[in-house]
Every structure is written in C-alpha cells, then in structure tokens.
Chain A
C-alpha cells in the first residue's frame, strides 16, 4: 500500500461551494489511505472546459496555466476530485508541452504576475491516484464491505477522452474505476452505454435531461442500486437532474448517486450520518439499506 503521498488539493468550484459533502468524504477517505492533502491559497476556477473554453480559448488557457503555475510553486503534484478540473488542467499542461501559439500568449500574460509553468508538477485525478494505491491497498482500508450493493459506474467523458491526453483508461471499454468499486466489496453492474455522456453540458435543458434519463434507465435495467461518479457535474446531473427529470419528463427514477469517495468513506466505516448525505436530492437510504446501514 502506497503511503505518505502528498498532494496539493485543487478543489475547484462545484465541490466546495455546492457539494461540500463530497469534499468531506474525500478528505476523510483519502486520509485513511495515507494520502496527505495540502490545502493551498491562490487557485481560481480551473476554468471549466465546456462553456469557458468555448467562449475563448486563450483566456481559458491563461487561467488554467495560472492555476498550474500556482500549483507548481507549491512543489508537489495537484489532486483533483472533478473531471472538469482534470480535463482543463491536463489539457492545458499538454498544450504547454506542445508550446503552440495560444500558449505563448498565455505565458506572456502570466509574466506580469511573475508566474510561469514549466511542466514539473502535474495534475492527478483522484481515480488515478487510487489506481496507483491499487485494489489491495484500498481493500486493506475497508472495514465494512459494501456487500450486496449493486453499483453502476459512470466514468464521465472528461476522465476518459481524449484518451491520448487524459491517459486514464480505454476510452470505450474502461474498467479501472469498476475495479476500484469492486475493491469496496460492492458488485459492479455493466449497463448499455456505460461510457456515454451524462448530458450535462448540452445547451438545451430538456435534451440534457433526456440524455441523463436514458442513461439512468439503462443502469436500472441492469439492476443497479446506485450510481458512482467521480465528478461533481456528473453528480449534479444524476442527483438534482432526477428531480428535473421527474418534473419535466415525468420520469421518476429515484436512483441514488454517490461520488466514489463517499462510497469509499462508507466502506472504511464512516457513519453515513456524519457525511452529510442528507443533502443529496435523491434519497440515498434505499442504497444504504442494502448494506445494512
């Protein structure tokens, strides 16, 4: 089991300011695995890779490279809990290594802040750090296995694709995250379209909800008791989104959603009551009942 790993925690916006219960579970569960998360000042929004990147590549890249430069000054790799942060910071680091035109413009702007990014420190997604720790390391921290819980794993697009940049797993047949869920003692259910998008980023609200709803229907058809994600945007689509699906599409799925670190914390023996799960919009109780909580 890998121990005494230190990372600078890059929290992003959605987790600390909208879903702090995910932050809490992540701090507790990663701490239990011997991972030290160092808080740091000076970060801004990553910025998110759908709207902001669409609004203007160079300013998106400048803000991203600034965050990377601030992280690099702390002298260690950064850990993110969000696919959006992962995609933006990883792509920005990749573009910096390629040193294209937009990068030169962005780097020039950073000079006025006396900042630069050399590529020495990198950005790690929590799923990838957990992959390094390994299934045995994770199972070693489990006190109450999630036996009897059937989990539908949703990777989220930006963790997997573009695979040549993100480098996490196969873009169409990923299995790493499923292995991490199994290491908690839970059963993974594969469902049709398991690598499909949650639909959050499409502009039309109803289409967005339809995409998410089709995916949840496939999870339920495969027998899932809950959804595991590693991204707060996917989480929001599958949690609050179900409330909207009921209202606008007249579909009442009621399938609880968790960030992987929440399931990890529960399996490590944290009392679900202490994790703020009552703030989820879809009641998590039916999933907890399956594991006798």
Chain B
C-alpha cells in the first residue's frame, strides 16, 4: 500500500514557484492543452500535482519517470486559475529525481557537458569551416574553467 508523506510538498523548491501546490483544486485546466498529456496516457499534470501534494510521488521521481515527457510549454502555468504552476512542480520533481541519481542519462550528461566545456555543443572543425565559408569569425570559446571553479 502507498504511504502518504504530507511533508513531501515542502521539499519542492519554493524559488521556482513550485511551492504553491496546496492551492490546487483539481480542476484540470492544466490538462486540456498539455501536449504531453495528449501523447501519453500516464502523463497528467493534475495528477502529478495531486501526487506531490499528498506525498505519494516516488513513482514520479523514479528512473524513466513520465515527468520527462513534459515539453516545458508553460501552458499549464498560464491556464491554472490558482497559480499552482504545474510545470514548476514538475521541474522540482525533476530536480529531486536527478539528485537521487534517477535522472535520464541524456539529461545529466547534457548538464555535465555544459559544466565541462561551457557549451551545450562542442566546437568542431566542420562547423568552423562552415563559419569561415559564411565569412563569420571563429565561434567564441566559452571559459569552461570558470564554471568548474564555482560548481565543483
């Protein structure tokens, strides 16, 4: 049987506006235009907010959780009449999932790549050649060392 954890909602980051889920009255305004809900039967922002509120959210922060299907379109943020910000609740769940080592590999490796190189995309000879053909200067080099200094 699932055990409720009413304290769970307090672990959602307040800075993102994720801590306002107590105001949710389960109206489903967030669901109607949600592209992830249209494509995945088990993705429902209203249910995600409810599970987080009651504190039965382990399945949402587990590996390969459905929360990663959120497109971050922010329509739920705009449609919510209660200022609950479901997308930020989902972002907070993603943070909890990654901190527990359950984040998708492509997500954590993309973050690690930025921290190591300062850029999401590694420079290459091919792209420099294209830039040159277009008459553009070399691509700016990101000061990756500075990120290492402050985040490691």
Contact = CB atoms under 8 A, between A and B. Distances in A.
B127 interface: yes
B contacts with A: majority SS: helix
A202 B120 contact: no
B35 interface: yes
Contact of A54 (B91, B136, B146): B91
Interface of B: 13-16, 33, 35-36, 38-40, 68-75, 77-78, 91-92, 94-95, 98-99, 103-104, 106-108, 110-111, 114-115, 118-124, 127, 130-131, 133-137, 139-144, 146-147, 149-151
Contact of B78 (A101, A158, A161): A161
Interface residues of A, number: 65
6 contacts: A13-B121, A17-B124, A18-B127, A39-B137, A55-B111, A62-B150
Contacts of B122: 17
A174 to B, nearest CB: 12
Interface of A: 11, 13-14, 16-18, 20-21, 23-24, 27, 39, 41-45, 47-57, 59, 61-63, 66, 95, 98, 100-103, 109-110, 112-113, 157-158, 160-163, 171-172, 196-197, 199-204, 207-208, 210-211, 276, 279
Contact of B72 (A49, A102, A163): A49
B71 A199 contact: yes
Contacts of A103: 15
B77 A162 contact: yes
A144 to B, nearest CB: 21
Contacts of B110: 48, 51-52, 55
Nearest to B33: A196
B94 A113 contact: no
Contacts of A57: 13, 15-16, 91-92, 95
A204 B147 CA distance: 30
B140 A199 contact: no
